[in-house]
């Protein structure tokens, strides 16, 4: 990241000295699943775009076309929403089997109603990563890959390590986590109004959903505390134009891979 950009971003963030009363902080934390469910009631399947960049960024998901006798690669997408990651990848690679979970029951209903949902290649279920064992639905040590695409940022920081440990238990030894999420100093973080910050780098949006902005260091700490070995990590910068205001903004994401040791 550019030094000048970082200095300006830090100065902007330092201006916000407000704090959210503890009652509200607890309420947002306790009602996270309810607020995401309302989000999907309002937006149905229309909010997030299909994530067609995924195979370009994560070669593990590309079709290897090594013949039909190869066992299917088992992938678990946690926090799958309405399937904007799952369905494009399933369509592009017929050698994958997907487990997909989310704590919004409504999101899972949308996944099951999708024309691409085929129970021979996909199993969707409701699960709160911070408290429901994934092993209730997925046998321990059996999954090749877990994708975490913009989900960990929605989880309060003090629950992140436990959520990642939950993922660890279903992965095979040498299995990998493919991760992409919001990076620190992302334009969306700098746009929050005073009174939205719940704790360092963690904010509540107007609809009650929450978002954390990761530094590479913080992300590495969470995954190593949960038992993973870091494989790669980078900030991905994208300039996007806000359609309403026609202003160009700097989106910053963190993309990383972690391995469960053998
Ligand atoms: C920004 S959306 C991303 C959806 C999807 N991964 C994608 O890329 O389109 C975040 C999702 O994480 C889910 N989520 C947040 N906290 C969760 C938790 N503790 N357990 C399971 N799902 C959670 C939300 O319901 C929401 O669907």
How do the domains of the chain map onto residue ranges? 3-259
Range 3-259: architecture per CATH: 3-Layer(aba) Sandwich (3.40)
Top-ranked range on mean pLDDT: pick from 23-32, 93-102, 215-224: 215-224
Q: Is the pLDDT of residue 67 over 70?
A: no
Mean pLDDT along residues 98-104: 97
Q: Is the pLDDT of residue 240 over 70?
A: yes
Note whether 116 and 94 are within 8 A (CB). Answer: no
Distance, in Å, from the CA atom of 77 to the CA atom of 56, rounded to the nearest integer, reads: 17
Mean pLDDT along residues 49-57: 70
Taking the centre of ligand 1 as the mean of its atom positions, its distance from the CA of residue 149, in whole angstroms, is: 8
Taking the centre of ligand 1 as the mean of its atom positions, its distance from the CA of residue 107, in whole angstroms, is: 9
Q: Whose CA is nearest to atom 4 of ligand 1?
A: 81
Q: What is the pLDDT of residues 196-227, one digit of tens each?
A: 999 999 999 999 999 999 999 999 999 999 99
Note whether 118 and 48 are within 8 A (CB). Answer: no
- The share of the chain scoring above pLDDT 70, in percent, equals 96
Q: Is the pLDDT of residue 105 over 70?
A: yes
Note whether 151 and 211 are within 8 A (CB). Answer: no
The chain-wide mean pLDDT, for the chain, equals 91
Q: What is the pLDDT of residues 114-144, one digit of tens each?
A: 999 998 999 999 999 999 999 999 999 999 9
Phi, psi of 260, rounded to the nearest 5 degrees: -80, 120
Check residue 24 and give its pLDDT.
92
Residues with CB under 6 A from ligand 1: 32, 36, 48, 51, 79-81, 84-85, 102-104, 107, 127-130, 149-151, 154-155
The residue among 169, 131, 114, 133 whose CA lies nearest residue 32 is 131
Residue from 151, 208, 255 whose mutation best tests the ligand 1 pocket (most atoms within 8 A of CB): 151
Element (H, E) at 232: strand 229-241
Taking the centre of ligand 1 as the mean of its atom positions, its distance from the CA of residue 78, in whole angstroms, is: 7
């Amino acid at each position: 990241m550019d030094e000048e950009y970082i200095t300006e971003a830090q100065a902007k963030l330092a201006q916000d000295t407000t704090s959210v009363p503890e009652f509200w902080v607890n309420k947002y934390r306790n009602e996270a699943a309810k607020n995401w469910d309302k989000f999907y009631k309002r937006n149905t399947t229309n909010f997030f775009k299909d994530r067609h960049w995924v195979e370009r960024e994560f070669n593990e998901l590309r079709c290897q076309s090594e013949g039909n006798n190869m066992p299917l690669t088992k992938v678990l997408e946690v926090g799958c929403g309405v399937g904007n990651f799952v369905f494009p990848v399933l369509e592009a690679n017929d050698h994958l089997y997907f487990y997909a979970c989310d704590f919004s029951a409504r999101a899972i209903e949308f996944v099951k109603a999708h024309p691409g949902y085929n129970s021979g290649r996909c199993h969707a279920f409701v699960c709160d990563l911070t408290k429901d064992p994934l092993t209730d639905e997925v046998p321990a040590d059996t999954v090749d890959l877990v994708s975490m695409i913009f989900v960990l940022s929605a989880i309060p920081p003090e629950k992140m390590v436990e959520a990642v440990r939950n993922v660890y238990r279903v992965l095979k030894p040498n299995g990998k986590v493919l991760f992409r999420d919001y990076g620190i100093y992302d334009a969306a973080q700098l746009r929050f109004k005073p009174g939205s910050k719940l704790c360092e780098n963690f904010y509540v949006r107007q609809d009650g959903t929450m978002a954390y902005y990761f530094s590479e260091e913080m992300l590495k700490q969470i995954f190593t505390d949960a038992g993973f070995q870091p494989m790669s990590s980078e900030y991905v910068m994208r300039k996007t134009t806000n359609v309403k205001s026609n202003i160009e903004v700097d989106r910053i994401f963190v993309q990383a891979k972690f391995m469960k040791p053998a």
